[in-house]
Structure 1
Protein backbone atom coordinates (compact mmCIF):
# COMPACT_ATOMS: atom_id res chain seq x y z
CA UNK A 1 0.00 0.00 0.00
CA UNK A 2 0.97 3.61 -0.56
CA UNK A 3 2.71 5.40 2.31
CA UNK A 4 2.90 9.11 1.51
CA UNK A 5 5.61 9.93 4.05
CA UNK A 6 8.11 7.64 2.35
CA UNK A 7 8.26 9.73 -0.80
CA UNK A 8 9.89 12.92 0.46
CA UNK A 9 12.43 14.01 3.04
CA UNK A 10 10.51 15.69 5.90
CA UNK A 11 10.62 19.49 6.03
CA UNK A 12 10.25 21.33 9.33
CA UNK A 13 10.57 24.89 10.62
CA UNK A 14 12.80 25.22 13.67
CA UNK A 15 12.14 27.42 16.71
CA UNK A 16 14.41 30.11 15.25
CA UNK A 17 12.37 30.18 12.04
CA UNK A 18 14.88 28.26 9.93
CA UNK A 19 13.51 25.67 7.53
CA UNK A 20 15.27 22.30 7.55
CA UNK A 21 15.04 19.35 5.16
CA UNK A 22 15.73 16.09 7.02
CA UNK A 23 17.63 13.88 4.61
CA UNK A 24 17.92 10.20 5.43
CA UNK A 25 21.32 8.70 6.14
CA UNK A 26 21.20 6.81 2.83
CA UNK A 27 20.58 9.97 0.83
CA UNK A 28 23.53 10.86 -1.49
CA UNK A 29 23.58 14.38 -0.05
CA UNK A 30 23.37 13.43 3.62
CA UNK A 31 27.00 14.35 4.42
CA UNK A 32 27.22 17.27 1.97
CA UNK A 33 26.71 20.43 4.03
CA UNK A 34 26.58 22.64 0.93
CA UNK A 35 23.84 20.50 -0.63
CA UNK A 36 21.89 20.39 2.62
CA UNK A 37 22.05 24.18 2.94
CA UNK A 38 20.84 24.54 -0.64
CA UNK A 39 17.95 22.16 -0.01
CA UNK A 40 17.00 24.15 3.10
CA UNK A 41 17.15 27.37 1.10
CA UNK A 42 14.86 26.11 -1.68
CA UNK A 43 12.47 24.51 0.82
CA UNK A 44 12.24 27.80 2.72
CA UNK A 45 11.25 29.63 -0.45
CA UNK A 46 8.40 27.17 -1.03
CA UNK A 47 7.35 27.13 2.63
CA UNK A 48 7.16 30.94 2.75
CA UNK A 49 5.35 31.25 -0.57
CA UNK A 50 1.96 32.99 -0.52
CA UNK A 51 -0.32 31.30 -3.10
CA UNK A 52 -1.74 34.73 -3.96
CA UNK A 53 1.68 35.66 -5.30
CA UNK A 54 3.52 34.40 -8.41
CA UNK A 55 5.35 31.11 -7.98
CA UNK A 56 8.82 31.93 -6.64
CA UNK A 57 11.77 32.10 -9.01
CA UNK A 58 14.82 29.98 -8.14
CA UNK A 59 18.23 31.18 -9.32
CA UNK A 60 19.63 27.82 -10.32
CA UNK A 61 23.38 27.39 -10.15
CA UNK A 62 25.58 26.29 -13.01
CA UNK A 63 25.93 22.92 -11.30
CA UNK A 64 22.14 22.50 -11.04
CA UNK A 65 21.71 23.41 -14.69
CA UNK A 66 24.38 20.85 -15.60
CA UNK A 67 22.46 18.15 -13.69
CA UNK A 68 19.31 19.00 -15.63
CA UNK A 69 21.17 19.01 -18.95
CA UNK A 70 22.89 15.71 -18.18
CA UNK A 71 19.61 14.02 -17.33
CA UNK A 72 17.88 15.42 -20.43
CA UNK A 73 20.73 14.20 -22.63
CA UNK A 74 20.73 10.72 -21.13
CA UNK A 75 16.96 10.28 -21.05
CA UNK A 76 16.29 11.47 -24.61
CA UNK A 77 17.38 8.30 -26.47
CA UNK A 78 15.70 6.10 -23.87
CA UNK A 79 12.45 8.00 -24.36
CA UNK A 80 12.64 7.42 -28.08
CA UNK A 81 13.12 3.71 -27.46
CA UNK A 82 10.84 3.05 -24.49
CA UNK A 83 8.17 5.77 -24.27
CA UNK A 84 4.71 5.44 -25.78
CA UNK A 85 4.09 7.65 -28.81
CA UNK A 86 1.46 9.65 -26.90
CA UNK A 87 4.11 10.74 -24.40
CA UNK A 88 6.64 11.50 -27.14
CA UNK A 89 4.17 13.69 -29.02
CA UNK A 90 3.29 15.55 -25.81
CA UNK A 91 6.97 16.01 -24.96
CA UNK A 92 7.62 17.54 -28.38
CA UNK A 93 4.58 19.82 -28.09
CA UNK A 94 5.64 21.04 -24.63
CA UNK A 95 9.20 21.76 -25.72
CA UNK A 96 10.87 22.10 -22.34
CA UNK A 97 14.44 23.45 -22.29
CA UNK A 98 17.13 20.80 -22.11
CA UNK A 99 20.13 22.96 -21.21
CA UNK A 100 18.82 24.58 -18.01
CA UNK A 101 16.22 24.01 -15.31
CA UNK A 102 12.93 25.66 -16.24
CA UNK A 103 11.14 27.88 -13.77
CA UNK A 104 7.74 26.55 -12.74
CA UNK A 105 6.14 29.66 -14.24
CA UNK A 106 7.76 28.69 -17.55
CA UNK A 107 6.36 25.17 -17.25
CA UNK A 108 2.88 26.60 -16.67
CA UNK A 109 3.22 29.03 -19.58
CA UNK A 110 4.11 26.13 -21.88
CA UNK A 111 1.60 23.55 -20.69
CA UNK A 112 -1.46 25.68 -19.98
CA UNK A 113 -2.25 26.43 -23.65
CA UNK A 114 -2.00 22.69 -24.37
CA UNK A 115 -4.03 21.08 -21.59
CA UNK A 116 -4.78 23.77 -19.00
CA UNK A 117 -2.39 22.78 -16.18
CA UNK A 118 -0.75 25.09 -13.64
CA UNK A 119 2.42 24.22 -11.73
CA UNK A 120 2.89 25.53 -8.19
CA UNK A 121 5.72 25.05 -5.71
CA UNK A 122 5.98 22.62 -2.80
CA UNK A 123 8.82 22.24 -0.26
CA UNK A 124 8.50 18.45 -0.37
CA UNK A 125 5.64 16.30 0.86
CA UNK A 126 2.15 17.62 0.16
CA UNK A 127 -0.62 16.05 2.23
CA UNK A 128 -2.22 13.25 0.24
CA UNK A 129 -5.71 14.73 -0.01
CA UNK A 130 -4.44 18.18 -0.90
CA UNK A 131 -2.16 16.86 -3.64
CA UNK A 132 -4.73 14.64 -5.32
CA UNK A 133 -7.63 17.07 -4.92
CA UNK A 134 -5.57 19.77 -6.61
CA UNK A 135 -5.22 17.54 -9.66
CA UNK A 136 -8.98 17.85 -10.11
CA UNK A 137 -8.44 21.57 -10.67
CA UNK A 138 -5.48 20.89 -12.97
CA UNK A 139 -3.00 22.18 -10.40
CA UNK A 140 0.22 20.21 -9.89
CA UNK A 141 2.35 20.65 -6.75
CA UNK A 142 6.02 20.44 -7.76
CA UNK A 143 9.26 20.53 -5.86
CA UNK A 144 11.97 22.89 -7.13
CA UNK A 145 15.14 21.23 -5.84
CA UNK A 146 17.44 18.91 -7.77
CA UNK A 147 19.06 15.62 -6.86
CA UNK A 148 22.62 15.41 -5.56
CA UNK A 149 25.28 16.01 -8.25
CA UNK A 150 27.17 12.83 -7.36
CA UNK A 151 24.34 10.75 -8.82
CA UNK A 152 22.60 12.80 -11.54
CA UNK A 153 20.73 9.77 -12.89
CA UNK A 154 19.36 8.70 -9.50
CA UNK A 155 17.22 10.24 -6.79
CA UNK A 156 15.70 8.58 -3.71
CA UNK A 157 12.85 11.12 -3.74
CA UNK A 158 10.88 13.08 -6.36
CA UNK A 159 12.70 16.23 -7.49
CA UNK A 160 11.92 18.77 -10.20
CA UNK A 161 13.31 16.37 -12.81
CA UNK A 162 10.67 13.78 -11.90
CA UNK A 163 7.88 16.34 -11.51
CA UNK A 164 8.57 18.10 -14.80
CA UNK A 165 10.30 15.66 -17.16
CA UNK A 166 8.08 12.85 -15.91
CA UNK A 167 4.77 14.53 -15.20
CA UNK A 168 4.70 17.77 -17.22
CA UNK A 169 5.57 15.95 -20.43
CA UNK A 170 2.86 13.43 -19.58
CA UNK A 171 0.30 16.12 -18.69
CA UNK A 172 0.91 17.86 -22.02
CA UNK A 173 -0.98 14.93 -23.57
CA UNK A 174 -4.75 15.56 -23.68
CA UNK A 175 -5.43 11.90 -22.91
CA UNK A 176 -3.09 11.61 -19.93
CA UNK A 177 -4.21 15.04 -18.76
CA UNK A 178 -7.82 13.86 -18.77
CA UNK A 179 -6.96 10.73 -16.78
CA UNK A 180 -5.00 12.70 -14.19
CA UNK A 181 -7.71 15.30 -13.73
CA UNK A 182 -10.29 12.51 -13.36
CA UNK A 183 -8.21 11.06 -10.52
CA UNK A 184 -8.19 14.48 -8.91
CA UNK A 185 -11.96 14.89 -9.18
CA UNK A 186 -12.32 11.46 -7.57
CA UNK A 187 -10.16 12.61 -4.65
CA UNK A 188 -12.37 15.66 -4.24
CA UNK A 189 -15.49 13.53 -3.74
CA UNK A 190 -13.96 10.72 -1.65
CA UNK A 191 -14.47 11.13 2.08
CA UNK A 192 -12.63 8.19 3.63
CA UNK A 193 -8.88 7.83 3.90
CA UNK A 194 -9.19 4.18 2.86
CA UNK A 195 -10.80 5.14 -0.45
CA UNK A 196 -8.26 7.90 -1.02
CA UNK A 197 -5.34 5.51 -0.53
CA UNK A 198 -6.96 2.97 -2.84
CA UNK A 199 -7.21 5.71 -5.47
CA UNK A 200 -3.56 6.67 -4.89
CA UNK A 201 -2.45 3.07 -5.40
CA UNK A 202 -4.30 2.78 -8.71
CA UNK A 203 -2.71 6.08 -9.73
CA UNK A 204 0.70 4.65 -8.77
CA UNK A 205 0.30 1.64 -11.04
CA UNK A 206 -1.04 3.73 -13.92
CA UNK A 207 0.08 7.32 -14.23
CA UNK A 208 3.25 6.79 -12.18
CA UNK A 209 4.32 3.30 -13.29
CA UNK A 210 1.98 2.40 -16.10
CA UNK A 211 3.02 0.49 -19.23
CA UNK A 212 1.14 -0.14 -22.46
CA UNK A 213 1.41 -2.34 -25.52
CA UNK A 214 2.07 -0.51 -28.79
CA UNK A 215 2.92 -2.08 -32.15
CA UNK A 216 3.88 -5.36 -30.50
CA UNK A 217 6.23 -3.75 -27.97
CA UNK A 218 5.83 -2.87 -24.31
CA UNK A 219 6.12 0.91 -23.88
CA UNK A 220 5.99 3.13 -20.81
CA UNK A 221 3.73 6.09 -20.15
CA UNK A 222 4.14 6.37 -16.35
CA UNK A 223 6.04 9.41 -15.09
CA UNK A 224 7.97 7.35 -12.55
CA UNK A 225 9.43 5.17 -15.29
CA UNK A 226 10.04 7.91 -17.85
CA UNK A 227 11.92 10.16 -15.42
CA UNK A 228 14.18 7.30 -14.29
CA UNK A 229 17.23 6.21 -16.29
CA UNK A 230 17.43 2.90 -14.44
CA UNK A 231 13.72 2.13 -14.42
CA UNK A 232 13.58 2.36 -18.21
CA UNK A 233 16.28 -0.29 -18.47
CA UNK A 234 14.41 -2.63 -16.13
CA UNK A 235 10.67 -2.35 -16.68
CA UNK A 236 10.41 -4.83 -19.56
CA UNK A 237 12.02 -7.50 -17.38
CA UNK A 238 9.37 -7.23 -14.67
CA UNK A 239 6.24 -9.31 -14.16
CA UNK A 240 3.67 -7.73 -16.48
CA UNK A 241 0.03 -8.21 -15.58
CA UNK A 242 -3.10 -7.05 -17.42
CA UNK A 243 -4.98 -4.06 -16.03
CA UNK A 244 -6.85 -5.08 -12.89
CA UNK A 245 -8.21 -2.36 -10.61
CA UNK A 246 -8.58 -4.76 -7.70
CA UNK A 247 -4.94 -5.77 -7.80
CA UNK A 248 -3.72 -2.24 -8.55
CA UNK A 249 -5.55 -0.87 -5.53
CA UNK A 250 -4.48 -3.55 -3.05
CA UNK A 251 -1.02 -4.78 -4.07
CA UNK A 252 1.78 -4.11 -1.58
CA UNK A 253 4.84 -2.44 -3.10
CA UNK A 254 8.15 -0.85 -2.16
CA UNK A 255 8.75 2.62 -3.61
CA UNK A 256 12.47 2.49 -2.81
CA UNK A 257 13.30 -0.13 -5.46
CA UNK A 258 12.41 -0.97 -9.05
CA UNK A 259 8.80 -2.03 -9.34
CA UNK A 260 8.73 -5.85 -9.79
CA UNK A 261 5.07 -5.95 -10.91
CA UNK A 262 3.59 -3.65 -13.53
CA UNK A 263 0.14 -3.47 -15.12
CA UNK A 264 -0.09 -3.11 -18.88
CA UNK A 265 -2.92 -1.68 -20.96
CA UNK A 266 -3.51 -3.17 -24.40
CA UNK A 267 -4.14 0.30 -25.82
CA UNK A 268 -4.94 3.88 -24.87
CA UNK A 269 -8.60 3.10 -25.35
CA UNK A 270 -8.41 0.23 -22.88
CA UNK A 271 -6.57 2.47 -20.42
CA UNK A 272 -9.47 4.93 -20.63
CA UNK A 273 -12.05 2.15 -20.36
CA UNK A 274 -10.49 0.58 -17.27
CA UNK A 275 -8.52 3.19 -15.34
CA UNK A 276 -10.42 6.21 -16.64
CA UNK A 277 -13.80 4.69 -15.82
CA UNK A 278 -12.52 3.75 -12.35
CA UNK A 279 -11.44 7.34 -11.69
CA UNK A 280 -14.81 8.63 -12.90
CA UNK A 281 -16.94 6.21 -10.87
CA UNK A 282 -15.07 5.22 -7.69
CA UNK A 283 -16.64 6.11 -4.37
CA UNK A 284 -16.08 5.51 -0.68
CA UNK A 285 -17.51 1.99 -0.94
CA UNK A 286 -15.15 0.94 -3.73
CA UNK A 287 -12.28 -0.50 -1.62
CA UNK A 288 -14.54 -2.77 0.44
CA UNK A 289 -16.49 -3.82 -2.64
CA UNK A 290 -13.29 -4.70 -4.52
CA UNK A 291 -11.84 -6.61 -1.58
CA UNK A 292 -15.03 -8.66 -1.28
CA UNK A 293 -14.85 -9.47 -4.99
CA UNK A 294 -11.18 -10.46 -4.68
CA UNK A 295 -12.02 -12.71 -1.71
CA UNK A 296 -14.83 -14.38 -3.61
CA UNK A 297 -12.62 -15.14 -6.62
CA UNK A 298 -9.53 -16.24 -4.65
Structure 2
Protein backbone atom coordinates (compact mmCIF):
# COMPACT_ATOMS: atom_id res chain seq x y z
CA UNK A 1 0.00 0.00 0.00
CA UNK A 2 1.34 3.43 -0.92
CA UNK A 3 2.57 5.98 1.57
CA UNK A 4 -0.18 8.44 0.66
CA UNK A 5 -2.87 5.81 1.18
CA UNK A 6 -1.49 4.96 4.63
CA UNK A 7 -1.55 8.65 5.58
CA UNK A 8 -5.14 8.95 4.35
CA UNK A 9 -6.25 5.92 6.39
CA UNK A 10 -4.45 7.31 9.45
CA UNK A 11 -6.17 10.68 9.05
CA UNK A 12 -9.59 9.06 8.58
CA UNK A 13 -9.21 6.90 11.68
CA UNK A 14 -8.04 9.88 13.73
CA UNK A 15 -10.98 11.95 12.51
CA UNK A 16 -13.36 9.10 13.39
CA UNK A 17 -12.01 8.88 16.95
CA UNK A 18 -12.07 12.65 17.51
CA UNK A 19 -15.58 13.10 16.10
CA UNK A 20 -17.09 10.23 18.07
CA UNK A 21 -15.36 11.32 21.27
CA UNK A 22 -16.59 14.90 20.90
CA UNK A 23 -20.15 13.73 20.21
CA UNK A 24 -20.31 11.37 23.18
CA UNK A 25 -18.68 13.88 25.52
CA UNK A 26 -21.23 16.52 24.51
CA UNK A 27 -24.08 14.06 25.05
CA UNK A 28 -22.81 12.97 28.46
CA UNK A 29 -22.00 16.44 29.80
CA UNK A 30 -24.89 18.53 28.46
CA UNK A 31 -27.23 19.24 31.42
CA UNK A 32 -30.75 20.58 31.03
CA UNK A 33 -30.94 24.18 32.27
CA UNK A 34 -34.17 23.61 34.22
CA UNK A 35 -32.66 20.61 35.97
CA UNK A 36 -29.65 22.69 36.96
CA UNK A 37 -31.77 25.66 38.10
CA UNK A 38 -33.95 23.46 40.33
CA UNK A 39 -31.05 22.19 42.41
CA UNK A 40 -32.39 22.01 46.01
CA UNK A 41 -31.20 25.10 47.94
CA UNK A 42 -30.75 25.74 51.64
CA UNK A 43 -30.60 28.80 53.88
CA UNK A 44 -27.09 28.07 55.07
CA UNK A 45 -27.81 25.83 58.05
CA UNK A 46 -27.49 22.58 56.09
CA UNK A 47 -31.21 21.73 55.86
CA UNK A 48 -31.98 21.13 52.18
CA UNK A 49 -35.22 22.53 50.76
CA UNK A 50 -36.29 19.87 48.25
CA UNK A 51 -39.63 19.76 46.43
CA UNK A 52 -42.29 20.90 47.24
CA UNK A 53 -40.40 23.59 49.19
CA UNK A 54 -38.50 26.35 47.44
CA UNK A 55 -36.70 29.61 48.18
CA UNK A 56 -37.85 32.38 45.78
CA UNK A 57 -34.56 34.29 46.01
CA UNK A 58 -32.61 31.22 44.89
CA UNK A 59 -34.87 29.44 42.39
CA UNK A 60 -37.17 30.02 39.44
CA UNK A 61 -40.94 29.73 39.89
CA UNK A 62 -41.14 26.46 37.93
CA UNK A 63 -39.00 24.75 40.59
CA UNK A 64 -41.66 24.94 43.25
CA UNK A 65 -45.16 24.32 44.41
CA UNK A 66 -46.85 27.73 44.87
CA UNK A 67 -47.99 26.95 48.44
CA UNK A 68 -44.61 25.97 49.86
CA UNK A 69 -42.38 29.03 49.60
CA UNK A 70 -39.70 29.44 52.26
CA UNK A 71 -37.72 32.50 53.32
CA UNK A 72 -34.38 32.63 55.10
CA UNK A 73 -33.88 34.50 58.36
CA UNK A 74 -30.86 36.64 59.21
CA UNK A 75 -29.64 33.64 61.22
CA UNK A 76 -29.78 31.39 58.13
CA UNK A 77 -32.86 29.56 59.41
CA UNK A 78 -35.60 28.44 56.97
CA UNK A 79 -38.86 30.21 57.80
CA UNK A 80 -42.41 29.11 56.96
CA UNK A 81 -44.95 31.89 57.39
CA UNK A 82 -48.47 30.92 58.46
CA UNK A 83 -51.32 32.97 59.97
CA UNK A 84 -49.10 36.07 60.10
CA UNK A 85 -46.54 34.27 62.27
CA UNK A 86 -43.09 32.96 61.42
CA UNK A 87 -42.20 29.33 62.11
CA UNK A 88 -38.65 28.01 62.00
CA UNK A 89 -38.36 24.72 60.13
CA UNK A 90 -36.34 22.48 62.43
CA UNK A 91 -36.42 19.34 60.29
CA UNK A 92 -38.14 17.91 57.22
CA UNK A 93 -39.14 14.27 56.82
CA UNK A 94 -39.72 13.85 53.10
CA UNK A 95 -40.52 10.15 53.29
CA UNK A 96 -43.72 10.66 55.30
CA UNK A 97 -44.24 14.27 54.14
CA UNK A 98 -44.01 16.03 57.49
CA UNK A 99 -41.91 18.78 59.05
CA UNK A 100 -41.08 19.95 62.55
CA UNK A 101 -41.66 23.67 63.15
CA UNK A 102 -41.42 26.06 66.09
CA UNK A 103 -42.99 29.49 66.43
CA UNK A 104 -40.20 32.08 66.45
CA UNK A 105 -41.96 33.90 69.30
CA UNK A 106 -41.59 30.83 71.50
CA UNK A 107 -37.82 30.89 70.97
CA UNK A 108 -37.26 34.60 71.49
CA UNK A 109 -39.69 35.33 74.33
CA UNK A 110 -39.14 34.09 77.90
CA UNK A 111 -42.85 34.57 78.53
CA UNK A 112 -44.63 33.57 75.29
CA UNK A 113 -48.30 34.37 75.81
CA UNK A 114 -49.46 36.59 72.96
CA UNK A 115 -49.32 34.01 70.17
CA UNK A 116 -51.79 34.03 67.31
CA UNK A 117 -54.13 31.18 66.53
CA UNK A 118 -52.69 29.02 63.77
CA UNK A 119 -55.26 28.36 61.05
CA UNK A 120 -54.54 25.76 58.40
CA UNK A 121 -57.70 26.35 56.39
CA UNK A 122 -56.97 26.83 52.68
CA UNK A 123 -53.47 25.41 53.08
CA UNK A 124 -51.97 22.06 52.13
CA UNK A 125 -50.88 21.43 55.72
CA UNK A 126 -52.55 19.61 58.58
CA UNK A 127 -51.59 18.86 62.18
CA UNK A 128 -50.15 15.47 63.02
CA UNK A 129 -52.40 13.01 64.91
CA UNK A 130 -50.23 13.47 68.03
CA UNK A 131 -50.79 17.18 68.44
CA UNK A 132 -52.60 18.95 71.26
CA UNK A 133 -53.46 22.57 71.97
CA UNK A 134 -51.91 24.60 74.74
CA UNK A 135 -54.56 27.27 75.30
CA UNK A 136 -53.67 30.67 76.72
CA UNK A 137 -56.53 32.46 78.49
CA UNK A 138 -56.37 36.18 79.19
CA UNK A 139 -58.31 38.41 81.59
CA UNK A 140 -60.36 35.62 83.13
CA UNK A 141 -62.67 36.02 86.11
CA UNK A 142 -62.06 32.43 87.18
CA UNK A 143 -59.98 29.39 86.27
CA UNK A 144 -61.04 25.82 85.42
CA UNK A 145 -61.40 23.43 88.33
CA UNK A 146 -61.08 20.14 86.46
CA UNK A 147 -58.02 20.97 84.31
CA UNK A 148 -54.41 21.49 85.29
CA UNK A 149 -53.41 25.08 84.60
CA UNK A 150 -50.12 26.87 84.19
CA UNK A 151 -50.19 30.18 85.98
CA UNK A 152 -48.48 32.91 83.96
CA UNK A 153 -47.41 35.65 86.36
CA UNK A 154 -45.40 37.49 83.71
CA UNK A 155 -48.63 38.16 81.78
CA UNK A 156 -49.79 40.49 84.54
CA UNK A 157 -47.29 43.04 83.27
CA UNK A 158 -49.00 43.17 79.89
CA UNK A 159 -52.29 44.66 81.02
CA UNK A 160 -53.62 46.18 84.21
CA UNK A 161 -56.79 44.14 83.68
CA UNK A 162 -55.11 40.79 83.22
CA UNK A 163 -57.30 39.04 85.76
CA UNK A 164 -56.25 35.39 85.87
CA UNK A 165 -53.89 34.63 82.99
CA UNK A 166 -53.25 30.92 82.63
CA UNK A 167 -52.61 28.18 80.10
CA UNK A 168 -53.90 24.63 79.94
CA UNK A 169 -53.73 21.63 77.63
CA UNK A 170 -56.85 20.71 75.70
CA UNK A 171 -57.30 17.64 73.52
CA UNK A 172 -58.48 18.08 69.97
CA UNK A 173 -62.10 19.17 70.18
CA UNK A 174 -61.96 19.24 73.97
CA UNK A 175 -62.63 22.95 74.43
CA UNK A 176 -66.35 22.31 74.74
CA UNK A 177 -65.71 20.22 77.86
CA UNK A 178 -63.70 22.93 79.60
CA UNK A 179 -65.80 24.32 82.46
CA UNK A 180 -65.13 27.90 81.53
CA UNK A 181 -66.96 29.94 78.93
CA UNK A 182 -65.80 32.70 76.63
CA UNK A 183 -67.79 35.12 78.79
CA UNK A 184 -65.45 34.44 81.70
CA UNK A 185 -62.29 35.26 79.73
CA UNK A 186 -61.53 38.18 77.48
CA UNK A 187 -59.74 36.00 74.94
CA UNK A 188 -57.84 32.79 74.42
CA UNK A 189 -55.22 31.68 71.92
CA UNK A 190 -54.28 28.11 71.01
CA UNK A 191 -50.68 27.06 70.45
CA UNK A 192 -50.20 23.60 68.88
CA UNK A 193 -47.74 21.30 70.65
CA UNK A 194 -46.55 17.77 69.91
CA UNK A 195 -47.30 14.93 72.31
CA UNK A 196 -44.63 12.29 71.75
CA UNK A 197 -45.52 8.60 71.76
CA UNK A 198 -45.57 7.25 75.29
CA UNK A 199 -45.83 10.72 76.85
CA UNK A 200 -48.97 11.47 78.84
CA UNK A 201 -50.54 14.80 79.71
CA UNK A 202 -49.48 14.14 83.28
CA UNK A 203 -45.89 14.00 82.02
CA UNK A 204 -46.26 17.23 80.08
CA UNK A 205 -47.70 19.29 82.92
CA UNK A 206 -44.52 18.60 84.86
CA UNK A 207 -42.59 20.51 82.19
CA UNK A 208 -42.29 24.27 81.85
CA UNK A 209 -44.68 25.39 79.15
CA UNK A 210 -42.07 27.61 77.38
CA UNK A 211 -39.91 24.51 76.92
CA UNK A 212 -42.86 22.61 75.47
CA UNK A 213 -43.46 25.39 72.95
CA UNK A 214 -39.78 25.45 71.99
CA UNK A 215 -39.91 21.75 71.08
CA UNK A 216 -42.33 22.65 68.30
CA UNK A 217 -44.89 20.48 66.56
CA UNK A 218 -45.30 18.41 63.42
CA UNK A 219 -47.15 19.45 60.31
CA UNK A 220 -48.04 17.07 57.51
CA UNK A 221 -48.38 18.26 53.94
CA UNK A 222 -50.45 17.09 51.02
CA UNK A 223 -48.70 17.38 47.67
CA UNK A 224 -47.51 15.07 44.92
CA UNK A 225 -44.65 12.76 45.87
CA UNK A 226 -41.26 13.36 44.31
CA UNK A 227 -39.48 10.37 45.83
CA UNK A 228 -39.56 8.21 42.69
CA UNK A 229 -38.18 11.00 40.52
CA UNK A 230 -35.49 11.95 43.05
CA UNK A 231 -34.62 8.28 43.52
CA UNK A 232 -33.81 8.10 39.81
CA UNK A 233 -31.60 11.19 39.98
CA UNK A 234 -34.22 13.72 38.91
CA UNK A 235 -35.70 16.89 40.39
CA UNK A 236 -39.31 17.96 40.60
CA UNK A 237 -40.95 21.21 39.60
CA UNK A 238 -44.45 22.58 39.12
CA UNK A 239 -46.10 24.11 36.07
CA UNK A 240 -49.73 24.66 35.08
CA UNK A 241 -51.02 23.03 38.30
CA UNK A 242 -49.10 19.82 37.63
CA UNK A 243 -45.87 18.34 38.92
CA UNK A 244 -43.13 17.96 36.33
CA UNK A 245 -39.96 15.88 36.41
CA UNK A 246 -36.64 17.40 35.37
CA UNK A 247 -33.82 15.08 34.33
CA UNK A 248 -30.29 15.68 33.08
CA UNK A 249 -31.51 15.71 29.49
CA UNK A 250 -34.82 17.54 30.03
CA UNK A 251 -38.34 16.96 31.43
CA UNK A 252 -39.77 13.44 31.43
CA UNK A 253 -43.20 12.01 32.28
CA UNK A 254 -42.46 10.20 35.56
CA UNK A 255 -38.80 9.64 36.48
CA UNK A 256 -35.28 9.64 35.07
CA UNK A 257 -34.66 5.90 34.90
CA UNK A 258 -34.25 6.21 31.13
CA UNK A 259 -31.08 8.16 31.83
CA UNK A 260 -29.50 5.13 33.44
CA UNK A 261 -29.74 3.36 30.09
CA UNK A 262 -28.31 6.39 28.28
CA UNK A 263 -25.40 6.67 30.66
CA UNK A 264 -24.78 2.94 30.33
CA UNK A 265 -24.77 3.19 26.54
CA UNK A 266 -22.45 6.20 26.66
CA UNK A 267 -20.10 4.31 28.95
CA UNK A 268 -20.16 1.33 26.60
CA UNK A 269 -19.39 3.56 23.62
CA UNK A 270 -16.55 5.28 25.45
CA UNK A 271 -15.08 1.87 26.26
CA UNK A 272 -15.28 1.00 22.57
CA UNK A 273 -13.50 4.23 21.63
CA UNK A 274 -10.84 3.56 24.22
CA UNK A 275 -10.19 0.13 22.71
CA UNK A 276 -10.15 1.71 19.26
CA UNK A 277 -7.53 4.21 20.36
CA UNK A 278 -5.35 1.57 22.05
CA UNK A 279 -5.49 -0.65 18.97
CA UNK A 280 -4.87 2.23 16.59
CA UNK A 281 -1.30 1.06 15.67
CA UNK A 282 -2.60 -2.43 14.87
CA UNK A 283 -5.28 -0.97 12.62
CA UNK A 284 -2.68 1.06 10.75
CA UNK A 285 -0.50 -2.00 10.33
CA UNK A 286 -3.44 -4.02 9.07
CA UNK A 287 -4.47 -1.26 6.69
CA UNK A 288 -1.00 -1.30 5.11
CA UNK A 289 -1.61 -4.90 4.09
CA UNK A 290 -4.87 -4.20 2.31
CA UNK A 291 -4.42 -5.40 -1.31
CA UNK A 292 -4.61 -2.83 -4.10
CA UNK A 293 -6.94 -3.38 -7.07
CA UNK A 294 -7.01 -1.78 -10.45
Q: Mark yes or no: TM-score above 0.5.
A: no
What TM-score comes out, normalization by structure 1 length? 0.21
What TM-score comes out, normalization by structure 2 length? 0.21
Q: Which has the higher contact order (CA 8 A, sep 6+)?
A: 2
Q: Which has more strand, going by share of residues?
A: 2
